[in-house]
């Protein structure tokens, strides 16, 4: 999602209280991540995704897999920048895949008994419900809009379709591991859900892990992915203190595995090259009572990143990287 919209006001930058050495488990991923970074650099890649200086106000760099981890994702605040669709670029190579298994289905496997909530950012129909998504909701520390439209590639392929496609792929992978998987929305709602409800779904499911999936809408040349971690917030009805440490662990593991599996580098425009960013202004994180992170998988407005995001084969790798990070976190 882009960094414009209700979830991306521009708070002043601050140093992350989460900065510390990577966990041993994540460190084990460094060789592979470094290899991914080396390949990326060799072909001239210049960035990640996440949120550039034009929309990433208030983010602070966090721990990073030395190979390059993601920086930070956001709630549901991304609005298209208004570029007109181009018929020659940014179109998906494969239509979003629908998982045949119902949300919540689980089998036997190492994750049996574990609950994972996947939050596909935005909704393809949000633009048809301006009054509903502009309605203010309580995000714990203040009030913000219910949701936003999300961004899109320059060819007009919406972020909301990207996030749902990756969510379906991720659900399939996790269910094969035995996890019970719930989606906050599955293309079955006319709009939303609102940011407060997205957090509430994870809380009520007592999720062992929750991940919000997004893609950024930054400027051309801004590339790469980043993971957003919740900061320590204790104000109003928001209290993230209990989930800060486990969420950081979850985010680091996802970041390391995402680098290794996709070969993508961490964001070149937020996170200081770490791929991890801490934020305290996102309702989807501030209202969560379970370990939760956001991942911005790439920048839809950059042609090179868009070529990846619109590739079905790459989206499968993205889902695999996220899945392996979640599995690593849940298995300790």
Question: So which residues are the catalytic ones?
Answer: 296
Per DSSP, which regions of the chain are E strands?
60-61, 115-120, 136-138, 143-145, 180-183, 209-216, 226-230, 234-235, 238-239, 276-279, 292-299
H/E stretch holding 175 reads helix 159-176
The token pair that represents 124 in the structure block: 């393809």
Cβ atoms of 299 and 226 within 8 Å: the answer is no
Cβ atoms of 246 and 189 within 8 Å: the answer is no
Kindly tell me the burial class for residue 311, based on how many C-beta atoms sit within 10 Å of its own C-beta (0-12, 13-18, 19 or more): middle
Bridge partners of residue 116, in order along the sequence? 181, 209
CA dist., res. 115 & res. 104, Å (int): 9
Residue 50: name the closest of 196, 312, 201, 264 by CA.
264
Kindly tell me the burial class for residue 313, based on how many C-beta atoms sit within 10 Å of its own C-beta (0-12, 13-18, 19 or more): exposed
Beta-strand relationship, 234-235 and 226-230:
unpaired
CB contact burial 235-266 (16+ within 10 A = b; e otherwise): eeebebeebbebbbbbbbbbbbbbbbbbbbbb
């Amino acid at each position: 999602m882009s960094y414009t919209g209700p979830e991306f006001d521009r708070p002043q930058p601050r140093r992350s209280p989460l900065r510390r050495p990577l966990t041993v488990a994540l460190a084990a991923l460094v060789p592979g991540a470094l290899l991914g970074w080396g390949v990326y650099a060799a072909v001239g890649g210049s960035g990640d995704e996440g949120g550039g200086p034009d929309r990433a106000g208030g983010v602070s760099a966090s721990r990073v897999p030395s190979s390059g981890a993601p920086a930070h994702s956001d709630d549901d605040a991304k609005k298209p920048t208004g570029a007109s669709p181009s018929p020659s670029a940014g179109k998906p190579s494969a239509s979003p895949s629908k998982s045949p298994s119902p949300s919540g289905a689980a089998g036997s496997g190492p994750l049996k008994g574990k609950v994972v909530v996947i939050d596909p950012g935005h909704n393809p129909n949000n633009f048809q419900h301006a009054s509903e998504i502009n309605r203010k909701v309580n995000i714990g520390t203040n009030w913000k809009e219910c949701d936003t439209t999300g961004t899109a590639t320059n060819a007009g392929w919406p972020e909301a379709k990207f996030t749902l496609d990756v969510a379906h792929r991720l659900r399939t992978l996790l269910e094969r591991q035995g996890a019970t998987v719930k989606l906050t929305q599955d293309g079955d709602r006319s709009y939303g859900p609102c940011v407060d409800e997205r957090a509430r779904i994870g809380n009520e499911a007592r999720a062992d892990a929750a991940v919000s999936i997004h893609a950024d809408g930054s400027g051309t040349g801004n590339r790469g992915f980043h993971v957003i971690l919740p900061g320590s917030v204790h104000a109003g009805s928001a209290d993230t203190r209990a989930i800060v440490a486990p969420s950081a662990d979850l985010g680091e593991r996802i970041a390391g595995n995402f680098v290794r599996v996709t070969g993508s580098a961490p964001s070149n425009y937020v996170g200081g090259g770490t791929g991890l960013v801490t934020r305290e202004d996102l309702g989807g994180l501030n209202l969560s009572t379970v370990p939760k992170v956001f991942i911005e998988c790439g920048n839809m407005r950059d042609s090179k990143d868009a070529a990846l995001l619109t590739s079905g084969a790459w989206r499968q790798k993205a889902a695999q990287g996220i899945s392996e990070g979640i599995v690593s976190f849940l298995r300790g």
